[in-house]
Structure 1
Amino acid sequence: MKTPCIYIDLKKIEHNTSVIVNLCKKNRISVAGVTKGALGMPEIASAMIRGGVSWIGESRLDNIERLRKNDINVPFLLMRSPHKSEIERVISLADVSLNTEYEIIEALSEASIKNGVIHKIIIMIDLGDLREGIWPNELIPLVKETINMKGVKIIGLGTNLTDLNGTIPTIENNNQLVELAEEVENKFNIKLEYLSAGNSSSLKLLESGKIPSRINHFRIGEGILLGRETIYREKYPDTYQDAFTLSAEVIEKKLKPSIPIGEIGQDAFGNIPSVQDKGIMKRCILNVGRQDTNIDGLIPRKSTLEILGATSDHLLINATNETNVNVGDVISFDLNYSALLSSMTSPFVEKIVL
């Protein structure tokens, strides 16, 4: 076995998907399974589809292309705003894209007309998290400019909450999206097919039964992959949090002091270390580092182990309270979303599908 590696339990991902999709179905909500946290891995997309998602959401066109080449045959939602330099690829790879800029929508329309297709768009509205989206008062002017474009079709409105500044989905901001949709429908005599208001941070609101009935589309990544809602990172009921396991190998074990010797300056990443004196400890080095994952998002499966720090290529752990650890042993870790994202992206971490 090559280390470091990440084990991927597809049955647990399928189970988590099924739990969340079934709850959404009870509320007439369709789900796009978001695979960007897993580098658009086809096996994971397939597990999500078996679990019931009707779309796959991705932020990278390269990932969508890989998924299509591996016979993933559901609608693809491009979740990052299209780049003007990649308009032709957007048209050929994504069925639907999230949009905020008139200039981009116009380019999508022109490219679609040239290619004999109609590209579907969801207009994103910023309801407070200050990531992507137009302000609510810009919606009617943008729709007015877009509605008669021949190459694009507005199929819905959406919003993104929590991801950047932690803005919590509420009845109020969800109702605001509904009201904006109704204003568009009345003004332009159209019917919007989708109101895409939710991501994993909306699961608590959904569970409480307070999602407005017009909201009918969620984009779920972490809730499926790690079984957690994303406001407080609480475990979502009846889901697995260990569908992914990062494993690394012990390459050194020594008894050493817990504090460094000599005058202290900056470490390799420009930080000045602050180290607590715990006396002589059993220090182990593992063959994984900051080039491979977000060390701050790793949790040792054994509670007797403590992460001390990391460099580019080495993870230091305190194994003083662990009697059975030797050079060559493999240590397993749970991951938060940040560690999962970086581990799945790293070419140095082997991916092993169970």
Structure 2
Amino acid sequence: MYPIVRVNKKHLLENIRAVTALCVAKKIAVTGVTKVFGGDPEIAAVYVEGGITRLGDSRVDNLKLLKGLDAEKWLIRPPMMSEVNDLVTYADASLNSELATIQAINDAAIAKGKVHKVILMVDLGDIREGFIDHEELIDVARKTEEMEGVHLYGIGVNLTCFSFIQSDSEKMAALAELSKTVGERIGRELEVVSGGNSATLDLMMKGGVSEGVNNLRLGESLLFGKERANYTFLPGTRKDVFTLECEIVELKEKPSVPWGTVGVDSYGNSPTFTDRGMRLKAICALGKQDFDVETSVPVDENIIILGASSDHLMLDVTDSKRGYKVGETIQLQLGYFSTMRAFTSRYVRKVYMD
């Protein structure tokens, strides 16, 4: 049954070793982010095989799936109050920006006889999570240090995910300096200074990450072999870890341009079409709930993706040399969001290749 996502674990392992080697050379440890593939333990196990000792996810439910792996587990999104008990059970550490939540984590950890590690987030311009007021962050750090059920593990920043503010030397220097200040106020050095995600790699390789920043939370670079600042592929990496196969259910010559009055889509936009004349078009049993059109590329370079509805993928196969037939499959190379949707969809089977 199709559609199927094929996961090339050998190529993933190559990516992990290549990217972590780049980071180790700069004295930076990696937290491997598992949210793209829904915390699938078979894929996360490849992270651990590649030498990654910290795993991060934005869902506690995904961290539950990772409990059998020998790695420190991080929740990389500020915790919800309603999930604090599960957080303490399944995560070793979490990124936080609210004192009330930290207090709740402290209470839950004490009740379970545990100590939970806390990383305080600072906002350096992306206006997502984190403290803007540095004095407030220092005050929360001091109060966290006094709690018995939590351990102040470090500080971190996130950039490029909401406002797409880029990581730069000035921001990394500010993060490192803030870490020193917090350390001075609490009387000890922080263990973790987390400088962001795959968008910081380009800056790191150019020597722009300040000494003292010792961690990056990486997902896209490990899985797809590219950094996010310029979307360039990293040396020694592969881009073909995830391949989606979908089955052709209709194959007919049709006009390039529809006829009739054009309405709007579900987002209120009117579609536009390029007139290429009569073309051979394939419809595959795959839709937007299963993958992302914008971050998918046909393996057959002569195929054009025309678009998709919720459960139909429309392709122009006129120029292909393959001579496709109904019932045959077409392969798509998946990017970040396409992989995320495929692993979220229960209609897409997952097959693992060693």
CA-CA distance at 1:268 after TM superposition: 5.4
1:62-211 aligned at under 5 Å gives the runs 62-68=61-67, 71-135=68-132, 136-211=134-209
Which residue type is aligned with residue 156 of structure 2? G
Deviation at 1:188, TM superposition (A): 2.2
Cα 1:186/1:269, change in 2 over 3 Å: closer
TM-score calculated relative to the size of structure 2: 0.96
Question: Aligned ranges for residues 177-256 of structure 1 at < 5 Å?
Answer: 177-256=175-254
Q: Which residue of 2 aligns with 1:280?
A: 278
Matched residue type, 2:294: D
Alignment partner, residue 4 of structure 2: 5
Secondary structure of residue in 2 paired with 1:17: helix
Task: Provide the rounded CA distance (Å) in 2 between the counterparts of 1:336 and 1:166.
Answer: 18
Q: Percent identity between the aligned chains?
A: 36
CA contact (8 A) 2:303 2:315 kept: yes
In 1, the alpha carbon distance for the partners of 2:277 and 2:135 equals 62
Q: Could you list the runs of 4 or more consecutive aligned residues of structure 1 that deviate by over 6 angstroms after TM superposition? A: none
The residue type paired with residue 65 of structure 1 is: K
Shift of 1:83: 0.7
Which residue of the partner structure matches residue 300 of structure 1? Answer: 298
**Would you say the 8 A contact 1:37–1:337 is kept in 2?**
yes
Equivalent-residue separation in structure 1 for 2:285 and 2:47 (angstroms): 31
Unaligned runs of 5+ in 1: none
Q: Which amino acid aligns with 1:83?
A: M
1:316-335 aligned within 5 A? 316-323=314-321, 324-335=323-334
Which is further off, 84-93 or 228-237?
A: 228-237
> Is the contact between residue 296 and residue 334 of structure 2 (CA under 8 Å) also seen in structure 1?
yes
Find the aligned partners of 1:43 and 1:147 in 2 and give their Cα distance. 36
CA contact (8 A) 2:74 2:93 kept: yes
Query: Match for residue 35 of structure 1?
Result: 34
Q: Within 2, Cα distance between the matches of 1:19 and 1:296?
A: 27
Instruction: Give the Cα–Cα distance (whole angstroms) in 1 for the partners of residues 7 and 43 of structure 2.
Output: 9
Q: CA RMSD in A?
A: 1.2
Q: CA deviation at 1:53?
A: 0.8
What's the secondary structure of 2:189's corresponding residue? coil
Do the aligned residues in 1 keep the contact of 2:176 with 2:211 (CA within 8 Å)? no
Output the amino acid matched with 1:102. Answer: L
- Which string of whole-angstrom CA distances, capped at 9 and with x for unpartnered residues, describes residues 195-217 of structure 1? 01131111111111222221111
SS at structure 2 position matched to 1:12: helix
Whichever residue aligns with residue 170 of structure 1, its letter is D
The aligned length equals 351
Whole-angstrom CA distance in 2 between matches of 1:199 and 1:264? 42
With 342-351 and 258-267 compared, the bigger mean Cα shift is at 258-267
| Contact 2:155–2:194 under 8 Å retained in 1 | yes
2:267 paired with 1:266: no
Structure 2: 5+ residue stretches without partners: none
Q: SS in structure 2 opposite 1:289?
A: coil
Kindly state the Cα deviation for residue 149 of structure 1 after the two structures are TM-superposed: 1.3
* Matched residue, 1:351: 350
Query: 1:51 aligns to what?
Result: 50
TM-score by length of 1: 0.96
